[in-house]
Structure 1
Amino acid sequence: MPQGTDTDTDIPMADSLLRRFFLPKPNRFFLLRLSAVALATVLFFTQVLIPLRIEGYSMEPTYRNGTFNLCWRWRYLLSEPRHGDVVVIRFAGRRVMLLKRVVALAGDSVAFREGVLLINGQPVTEPYVRMRSNWNLEPRTVAAGKVYVVGDNRGVPIERHHFGQVDQERIMGGVLW
């Protein structure tokens, strides 16, 4: 018999190893490994990285309708959200989540004048906002334990947007990229 072949099948050893790796015999050890991988996968994609399908236009052009991303759940484990962070907010359970940008933190005064965001009375440069509508909103102070969030697509009327103060506990995490 030629060297480097499997004794049972005359197939080169590399092919045999690959076949056993990708098509193992379903014994108890295989089922245990399969169960462990399935459990680890479910835990990872429910507790660490949550897959998101972006539906809607409120974060365009930064995040486009119909694309996918991941929510990094541990992003704010040891830190607080900062100005400009894009966060995933639990809106209704874990099925409906909103993707929004943090524009103001607790204690900040936030307002819109002719579409321009004002934080503590000062205009904010927002290179991610492409189109602006005539948003006008009187100044309001963000309460303790909350952040003020808004989408990047400001080209639609203010009445058609979900934005405002959100409890920090409702923030699920940040987007991965």
Structure 2
Amino acid sequence: MESKRDDDNNGLDKESLDLSNFSDNHDTELFSWAKKLGLLVFEVAKVVLISLAIILPIRMFLVQPFYVDGASMEPNFYQNEYLIIDEISYRFQDPERGEVIIFKNPKDTKYYFIKRVIGLPGETVEVRSGSVFINGQELEEPYIENLSTQSYEEYTLSEGEYFLLGDNRINSYDSRTFGPVDEKYIIGRVWFRGWPIDRINSFNLPEYNIKNFDIPTYNDLSE
């Protein structure tokens, strides 16, 4: 009888030992999975932080996206086209005639406009029945299809002022209405069109019949 009880006890001990091993193995597997998950989370967080460290400065100081809203720049820019704006160039150089720029609405800075630079500081601009005159000479604009009959009386731009017009002259709210725009409102120039796919391209300055003028100094203008 004692031998049988000993056998039974030995069997229970073996079963207990087996359960203990199972529990240890289970804990080890859980720890291993937790460690792998922790490493994965760490790697993802590291990639996100590095990406933000690279992207945010670029987004804030170099380039930013812009969606066209409206028909004022047709047929050269259409509704919902995706543009990349160069914000850095104007820190080192002034806007040039023909560049398409993004700027804050001088009347309500919550809104942004896209227009083309037509008149430069120191120049005298006039619009006669839709045709633009710079210092008395008519400006030929090959990118214009819809010319309006709207006029704008002769105006000499001050330092830091630009005369901005939409390409779709019959449907554009621009300097003919709100006047010249001070450079402090300018965000940057349109550099690249990323959407739609069939219109992806970068932008070059148009060729004008008007080149450089002998623009008077601002001291001369004030006399």
| TM-score of the aligned structures, taking structure 1 as reference length | 0.77
Shift of 1:100: 0.8
Shift of 1:124: 0.3
Q: Is 2:178 aligned against 1:161?
A: no
State the partner residue of 2:128.
113
User: Partners of 1:46 and 1:72 in 2: how far apart?
Assistant: 11
The 5-angstrom pairing of residues 1-177 of structure 1 reads: 26-91=40-105, 92-93=108-109, 96-156=111-171, 161-163=173-175, 164-177=179-192
Instruction: Tell me the SS of whatever aligns to 1:26.
Output: helix
Instruction: Tell me the SS of whatever aligns to 1:41.
Output: helix
Letter in 1 for 2:62: V
Shift of 1:29: 4.1
Alpha carbon RMSD of aligned pairs, Å? 1.9
Shift of 1:48: 1.5
Higher helix proportion: 2
Letter in 2 for 1:49: V
Shift of 1:161: 1.8
State the partner residue of 1:4.
none
Shift of 1:27: 4.1
Shift of 1:155: 2.4
Letter in 1 for 2:93: S
User: Partners of 1:70 and 1:30 in 2: how far apart?
Assistant: 28
User: Partners of 2:77 and 2:89 in 1: how far apart?
Assistant: 19
**Taking every aligned residue pair, what percent have the same amino acid on both sides?**
26
Instruction: Tell me the SS of whatever aligns to 1:147.
Output: strand
* CA displacement, residues 68-107 of structure 1 (integer Å, 9 cap, x when unaligned): 10111012121111111111112255x5211111111111
Instruction: Tell me the SS of whatever aligns to 1:125.
Output: coil
Instruction: Tell me the SS of whatever aligns to 2:143.
Output: coil
Runs of 4+ in 1 over 3 A off after TM superposition: none
Contact 2:68 2:80 in 1 (8 A): yes
State the partner residue of 1:13.
none
Contact 2:127 2:151 in 1 (8 A): yes
| TM-score of the aligned structures, taking structure 2 as reference length | 0.62
Higher strand proportion: 1
Contact 2:115 2:174 in 1 (8 A): no
Instruction: Tell me the SS of whatever aligns to 1:42.
Output: helix
Letter in 1 for 2:86: W
Larger Rg: 2
Matched residue count: 150
